Chains A and B, each alone.
Chain A
Amino acid sequence: MFSLLLLNGGVGARAGAGQPKQLVKVNGLPILVYSLVAADAVPDITQIVLNYPDGWRSQIEAIVADYAIRTPVTYVRAGASRHESVRAMLDVATQDDVIIHETARPLVTTEDFQSLVASEHRNVSLMLEIPFTVAPVDPAEQKVTGYLERSTLRNVQLPQKFSIADLRDAHAFAEREGRLFTEDATLVAVAGHDVRFVNGSDRNIKVTTPTDIKLATYLLTGGDEDWND
């Protein structure tokens, strides 16, 4: 059984001067709804740990209630950094294994979670092949410094699953070493634990800009399907 650690930035820019910040919506629904509903349909997820930006707890709780999420939800205030958020969420996780996801990926499916659950390995990330070439550079000099073989690189996606012991150890490692990681699969691997991947989908995009929201809406509403008629 798994605790889902659901990272929920979720609050976007002000719509206009003097206006309060808004919960990000995709196709009219608060963005966190998509991940909550997809995860709620996974029987192996028995707890959802949901973090909330300071000042937003009651709004987030109301959404969870309105959508009748059946999996018990534990609320944790978001930390100043991703490391801090994940550590605080680990403190309240009740299961020995966790799945990490972020609400900024609303196209996640129940099947994505289930493919992680089904993997025989304990530390597993969804990842994607990189269909373009990436170059190592020296940004200060604007100088290309070498070559990266893209067949040995992957686009790191969420969700990911970890043994809670390995993830705790990896966060302690990062703190000890004073290193910052932007996600947990590479962190856990660098800390010395075995981390595997399963192939994800290029639909499972991270929604960060207004253009991303338009693209996500297009995909969610089947806008791409007419082209296959």
Chain B
Amino acid sequence: MTKTLLVTGASRGIGLETVRRFLQEPAAGRGPEKGDVSRIVLVARDSDDYSEALADLEAHNPRGVTLSAYRADVGDRAALVELIDEIAENDGNIDYLVNNAGYTNPVALQQVDFADFERTMSVNLYAPFTLVQQLLHRGNHFDLIVNIASTAGIGGRSGWLTYSASKAALINMSEVMREELAIYGTRVVCISPGRTATALRRVLAPTEDPSTIMQAGDVAAVIEMLASPVGRFVDSANLVVRQ
């Protein structure tokens, strides 16, 4: 049975690398899961990066996976709900969902603009919630949901109040989802990457040399493992992925 994967924040970083891995042939001796993905739904804001990424993905698509790309801001709830209608109509059941889109604007407590805090919560917390709830309301049955949190959600970091708070909430929300969606046999995984060489990390740590830290492809490899048959043996708790 063929499966459909949906990835948010698919234009770069962990999201894009996750799409790349699911386009490839499964490695010898691996389970059939990756090979079963015949359709990938990509969601990201419109950008030159996204257009270039899509062209590159189409050019490196050896299994002929259908790529269904949408341009939307998941932090805009009304637009996201409309988008979910469109996806449910065009792409059918979403079997694997990777809630990867993330936003941060790290500033000290006294400098937090409340509207920016709300945007952080909208992208990092309300968007994963809305995707899952709206799809469930449409009768979608998930095999696997992967929520990408952060080690910054496990312990608060000075200067990262909004981001840390949003990711802590995502970790807890994942635990609730894991229990409540067990009635469908849905696996819910939360992973918390440490420092990863992504555009978001560059906002958090502008002076860091990205070549010295974990790469987005490494996290994508963990997501691929979680979707494989052995994934069910490591999915019972928030999974820290760090160098």
A residues with CB within 8 A of B? 27-29, 33-34, 37-38, 65-68, 70, 220-221
A162 to B180 CA separation, bound complex (whole angstroms): 32
A28 to B175 CA separation, bound complex (whole angstroms): 13
Interface of B is mostly: helix
Q: What is the chain A residue whose CB lies nearest that of B133?
A: A66
Q: Indicate if the CB atoms of A33 and B183 lie closer than 8 Å.
A: yes
A207 to B233 CA separation, bound complex (whole angstroms): 31
Q: Indicate if the CB atoms of B137 and A68 lie closer than 8 Å.
A: yes
A38 to B182 CA separation, bound complex (whole angstroms): 11
Q: What is the chain B residue whose CB lies nearest that of A70?
A: B139
> Could you list 19 A-B pairs, sorted by A, with CB under 8 Å?
A27-B179, A28-B179, A28-B180, A29-B180, A29-B183, A33-B183, A34-B183, A37-B183, A37-B184, A38-B183, A65-B137, A66-B137, A67-B136, A68-B136, A68-B137, A68-B138, A68-B140, A70-B139, A220-B182
Total CB contacts across the A-B interface at under 8 A: 21
A27 to B181 CA separation, bound complex (whole angstroms): 12
A66 to B138 CA separation, bound complex (whole angstroms): 9
Within 8 A of A (CB), among B51-95: none
- Residues 137-149 of chain B, each 1 if its beta carbon lies under 8 Å from chain A, else 0: 1111000000000
A77 to B140 CA separation, bound complex (whole angstroms): 30
**Which residues on A sit within 8 Å (CB–CB) of B139?**
68, 70
A72 to B201 CA separation, bound complex (whole angstroms): 49
**List of 6 A-B pairs having minimum Cβ-Cβ separation, nearest first:** A68-B139, A37-B183, A68-B137, A70-B139, A68-B136, A34-B183
**Which residues on B sit within 8 Å (CB–CB) of A29?**
180, 183
Q: What is the chain B residue whose CB lies nearest that of A36?
A: B183
**Contacts A28-B180, A37-B184, A68-B136 known; 15 new A-B pairs at CB < 8 A:** A27-B179, A28-B179, A29-B180, A29-B183, A34-B183, A37-B183, A38-B183, A65-B137, A66-B137, A67-B136, A68-B137, A68-B138, A68-B139, A70-B139, A221-B179
A37 to B184 CA separation, bound complex (whole angstroms): 7
- Residues 177-212 of chain B, each 1 if its beta carbon lies under 8 Å from chain A, else 0: 001101110000000000000000000000000000
Q: What is the chain B residue whose CB lies nearest that of A110?
A: B185
**Which residues on B sit within 8 Å (CB–CB) of A65?**
137
Nearest CB in chain A: distance from B229 CB, A: 19
A58 to B140 CA separation, bound complex (whole angstroms): 23
**Which residues on B sit within 8 Å (CB–CB) of A33?**
183
A33 to B182 CA separation, bound complex (whole angstroms): 12
Q: What is the chain A residue whose CB lies nearest that of B183?
A: A37
Q: What is the chain A residue whose CB lies nearest that of B137?
A: A68
Nearest CB in chain A: distance from B123 CB, A: 25
**Which residues on A sit within 8 Å (CB–CB) of B138?**
68
**Which residues on B sit within 8 Å (CB–CB) of A27?**
179
A67 to B136 CA separation, bound complex (whole angstroms): 7
**Which residues on B sit within 8 Å (CB–CB) of A66?**
137
**Which residues on B sit within 8 Å (CB–CB) of A70?**
139
